[in-house]
Structure 1
Amino acid sequence: MNKYPLRLNERISLIDILDMGLNERTGTYVIQEDELTIVETGPSPSVKHVKEGLQKLGFPLADVKYIILTHIHLDHAGGAGLLLQQCPNATVVVHPKGARHLANPERLIAGARAVYGSNFDDLFDPIVAIPEERLLTKADGETLKIGEACTLTFLDTPGHANHHFGIHDPISNGMFAGDTVGVRYEQLAKDGVDLVLPSTSPNQFDPKAMQKAIERFQQMGLSYIYYGHFGVTDNAAAALAQVSEWLPLFVETAKDVQREHKDHRELANRLEALVKDHLRGQEIPDNHEVYPYIHGDLRVCAMGLMDYLGK
């Protein structure tokens, strides 16, 4: 039986939007306040799952007031325009550097095609432009009141992308973190293993900015981190410490590969070997269901690392 949408607490629920047809890969969060708010839409093929999840939670689309996008990568935001067409009272909230690309998505599409090639249409089509009057930008430190006792705060958190922010929920002391402080693997959490790896995808990856974002979150003493990929941790300190350890290891491994004049495929293989060795130490078998997820992620991460070093 599908446990999603899953109520994480009395206010926040998680919808599994089956991105790329994969369970527990990408999530949409629903914040039940006076102004019904969702965080992330996923790509357009996932919008049907967002709508189904909202229906199961008892919320008509007309109730949605804010659709917040942590950043505009298509696996998080590609479906925003399509969903917005069916949410007549909603406004899309986005980083100031992302708004123009949602209104005019040609460059966004071209960038994703460069990474995903012939798979683009199956993964992301269609990309629907969002009218400028339905976009709201939030810069670092700005807020959005969605309930009598709930005012969200937005934090500029580049590192994964320049158009990325985190959203702090004061009631749970949780951060909707998108991808800046890593990817969490729910498949392993079921076995008692928390693995959080950096997301270093092209083409705006910046390890110094990513580390700064990690440290900023650490200083806040967060109780929860809500990940775009995937789910929530209630041990924010340990998760942030872990991704902070993996990040320099990813970068140094990439430098080794570059010095040897090898490419991103070699880097992906080496990163996967490092992760596999780490998980073997926690008694995770090599045939665990998590590995197709890790395999795909590390191939994109390797492209971003080599792109960063090439600059």
Structure 2
Amino acid sequence: MTTSHGIHTIDTGFVRPQFDAAYLIVENGRGAFVDCGTNYAVPRMLTALDQAGLTPADVDWLILTHVHLDHAGGAGELIAQLPNAKLVVHPRGARHMIDPSKLWAGASAVYGEAVMVETYGHLRPIPAERVIEATDEYLVDLAGRPLLCLDTPGHAKHHNTIYDSRANVCFTGDVFGLSYREFDQDGRPFIVPTTSPVQFDQKELHASIDRLVALKPAAMYLTHYGRVEDIDRLAADLHAQIDAMVELAHSADKTSQRHDILKDLLADLYLGRANAHGWSRDKPALVDIIGMDIELNAQGLEVWLDNQKKAA
């Protein structure tokens, strides 16, 4: 757990080490969590509090970037441990935190009930009176430290980025992509967009990235994974890859094995860029690290393709 400007990075333990992060911001003896991982991360969140010298009663806020379960699955269990905290969430996500049954049913239909319980644990509802809907530019006050919620769609329609002006950093959830430390070269991060289903939107994602870059932050804190700097280069890489991924999706759409071909094309795209970045390993090694993301990116692009056809 690293600390800068009172910001603590918490490895939630989801999937593998340094895959899924949550954050604790400490100001004047008060705390705010940004994202929380799954139910199984709750002990890690409470340990992080203890290590920061806080108790559960010292936490005022749990702020969600969005309600995908690797970010928000443990929100109900965590809030139950934080007697004074309110949940801050995008208006489109609030109802799923108050009544997570539809969220659970939708994911269970894809993955199966047993896998859902094993992966995330049962989702616990959050009392409506403890939920705050954060519209665009909603300001969270953490003991005098402003945390600004910015509506940043493109990855999901229920996505907020949290801008911390005190530290001049953004907590970006998934809208500023994925950057795993295994790909770092001489401290330089490598980044990949995330288009996981079901609400990827090319134009909105470009616009959200530009909105964050315009703030001129010193760093981005990604859920997957950790703090990254060199923002202008990473943003340019994201923009280029988003358009390249859309082109690959269109090309795969003309084939009979769309999903498998698209996955292979995406892996080749990321491998070429990783190798150009200085990462010298091969395609199987890349798939071993980001195979899950390639699968989800392919699925999200396919949903987007099909939606484009319906709208035409």
Q: Report if TM-score (shorter chain) is over 0.5.
A: yes
TM-score (norm 2): 0.92
Q: Could you give the per-residue CA deviations for residues 33-92 of structure 1, whole angstroms, max 9, x where no partner exists?
A: 133111001111222222222222222212111000000001000100011111111111
Q: Partner of 1:168 in structure 2?
A: 163
State how far apart, in whole Å, the 1-side matches of 2:185 and 2:98 are.
40
Letter in structure 1 aligned against 2:12: I
Partner of 1:305: 301
- Does the CA contact (< 8 Å) of 1:70 and 1:94 recur in 2? yes
In structure 2, C-alpha distance between the alignment counterparts of 1:163 and 1:232, rounded to whole Å: 23
Query: What is aligned with 1:135?
Result: 131
Question: Which range is displaced more, 56-65 or 163-172?
Answer: 56-65
Distance across 2 between alignment mates of 1:61 and 1:75: 22
What is the CA deviation profile of residues 71-120 of structure 1, one whole-angstrom value per residue up to 9, with x for unaligned ones? 00010001000111111111111001111111111111122224434532
Deviation at 1:28, TM superposition (A): 1.1
Paired residue secondary structure (2:196): coil
Retained in 2: the 8 A contact 1:185–1:290?
Answer: no
Q: Which residue of 1 aligns with 2:121?
A: 125
CA distance in 2, matches of 1:301, 1:32: 34
Query: Aligned partners of 2:11, 2:264: CA distance in 1, in Å?
Result: 29
- After superposition, the Cα gap between the structure-2 partners of 1:45 and 1:279, relative to the gap in structure 1 and judged at 3 Å, is same
Deviation per residue, 1:225-255 (Å, 9 max, x gap): 1101110112222221111111011111011
Structure 1 residue corresponding to 2:70, chosen from 68, 75, 85: 75
Q: How does 1:1-311 map to 2 (within 5 A)?
A: 5-7=1-3, 9-20=4-15, 22-34=16-28, 35-117=30-112, 119-148=115-144, 150-189=145-184, 192-281=187-276, 282-286=278-282, 291-311=287-307
SS at match of 1:297: helix
Matched positions, count: 304
Distance 2:24 2:141 in 1: 15
- Output the amino acid matched with 1:64: V
TM-score (normalised: structure 1): 0.93
Residue segments in structure 1 that go unaligned for 5+ positions in a row:
none
Change (3 A) 1:54 1:219: same
Higher deviation after alignment, 63-72 or 178-187: 178-187
Going from structure 1 to structure 2, the CA distance change for 1:57 and 1:72 (only over 3 Å counts) comes to: same
Q: What SS class does the counterpart of residue 41 from structure 2 fall into?
A: helix
The amino acid across from 2:18 in the alignment is E
The answer to whether the Cα contact below 8 Å between 1:38 and 1:66 also exists between their aligned partners in 2 is yes
Aligned-pair identity (%) = 34
CA distance in structure 1 between the partners assigned to 2:111 and 2:170 by the alignment: 29
Residue 190 (structure 1) shift: 6.2
Unaligned runs of 5+ in 2: 308-312
CA distance in 1, matches of 2:286, 2:26: 31
Residues 111-165 of structure 1: CA distance to partner in whole angstroms, max 9, x if unpaired? 22244345322111110011000101111112111133x2111110111111100
Q: What is the Cα deviation at residue 10 of structure 1? A: 3.5
On the 8 A contact 1:43/1:75 being kept in 2, the answer is yes
Q: Secondary structure at the match of 2:148?
A: strand
Moved more, 211-220 or 48-57: 48-57
1:132 partner amino acid: A
* CA root-mean-square deviation: 1.7
Provide the rounded CA distance (Å) in 2 between the counterparts of 1:228 and 1:30: 12
Q: Which whole-Å CA distance do the structure 1 matches of 2:173 and 2:206 have between them?
A: 15
Mapped partners of 1:139, 1:115: distance in 2: 30
